[in-house]
Structure 1
């Protein structure tokens, strides 16, 4: 909801103001940097007071909102630049389309990322609260609380799964999409709560990890060229189908690379930071993040380079862009236009390769 509010605010007030979007994005990045540096200090000799901890949480929450606004401003700026270049560049206006598509992808994914991050934070807070409540109550009462909460969680999980299936297939049957999922989910959650001890630790993080890894492995096993054929049938021929195919395949590939990089970090910095008495957030900021940022930048740049080349290939299957124009001219035997487009593709790929290599050298 916060992400939608931020996006609506930017679209309403700053949609046609590129200068304000640029200034807002830069100011937001600066505020985010200083807020994190203040709220997560490197050295802390004693435990902070409750008032200071509350202020830090408030500042970090405000920093998250500011970062969302900055990213939406950056998305709006990229779309404005892309649309402007598309009109003014003429025959090579596909470069502007590419920039506009990047901004559109950023705006679309922000809502999903914000929802997942908010769900993770809410899950962590409710988990801590539930553990404190269970520890403070007797075993029969803890068992009863666990049964009620497990039934609610099971019903909510089954309802969300069925809601997704209903969105795809339009069952138009309230009993099938609401009543049965709620009842079966509550029953399954109740059965699990009877068999489990309320004071046992449940590895929810490990379960989420394996589920997400299975989904990403399945997505990564399907090539973007196959995905674009499916999306062309779904949303029609055009750049949007290509954007969806590339985005889905990119998310799956980068998730694999990012997760493996986190798993392979050196334990030495973690032990050194923990030895100073740092909490979990400080350990992540000063021991984990410095180790993963350089490879993350390298992986992202490399994937960007791959997507530039793949955008031509998926255009052959109806994904829009210059690849779609190229296959049309080849079929029409218009080899003069096709050769010019092939030359433009070669120039774009070479330019993107040079730019990405220079960016990697500067940032890593």
Structure 2
């Protein structure tokens, strides 16, 4: 940070600092010469330079770079050479966060895919024991399984898939404080069981599901869809399936924009139908942010070939993409305006889990999570919860 000493200052806390010469989007319009004032981990004002008489002592010059809210990834299995399933620990979360901030992601849900029962308990116990999880970017868990469909298991190991019964539902509801999203196959869960979770703060997401449209409309409490198009029953002429249900009922839906999981034309169609309900996820695994070509996918050998993460038989096994690359892909290949691509990585995921009152915007009262982007949409600097945690080497 630059230290400015030749000003007459207003009264500010020692933890107050300002970002000057920032370019930001407001109401989808790009505004230059903006000042973002931060106290602790919170934005206390956003204004133009001319409207303030003096600045806090600590000043960061954004140098006219575009400043975006920090990206929010609600489905992140791993990155930076680690996988949450393989090593459920603080160390893994620390490495994931350190990797994330280099690519603009300041908040994420560590995602545990279908595995042995004790892994789920271990992940919940870990989260319950973490103090200040938000400081390391962790908003809670995404449990992707094990309560999914054998027919649409994707990269999940079938032997660990199991039924979601009333006892398990009560256990998850009891631990709702540390679980943000639960992916399940609704057709395999009794409504009485869903009701237990529906009354909790956990967002129920349909995914890895072989459900028919009519099976889905009979269920209540499903508010989200996990990686739209992938590992779910497709829209066909006589059976709308899970995809048809999503397009009709419009729950929030995550989508992977690596050009491998979903064709960009299909992504464009989804945007036109779902609007602000569609948000980006990476579904990233171990190789994201690295040059790895082989990795351990929760006990199964996996490979990376031309950006595709896969098992030996060709089954897709997560993604190697980062959030900033996803944004670049949207603007380059799917004709998404930049302000909207950024919304899909910030505001819309925040809305989907009900945290858009303090995350996903650059506005007074919001958490100070900010990403500085150059004209090539490369991350120049990242501020996480009010602290500068990454700066591009010059």
- TM-score range (shorter-chain normalised) is under 0.3
Answer 1 or 2: which has greater helix percent.
1
Higher relative contact order, structure no. (Cα contacts within 8 Å, ≥ 6 residues apart): 2
Answer 1 or 2: which has greater strand percent.
2
Larger Rg: 1
Give TM-score, length-normalised by structure 2.
0.25
Give TM-score, length-normalised by structure 1.
0.27
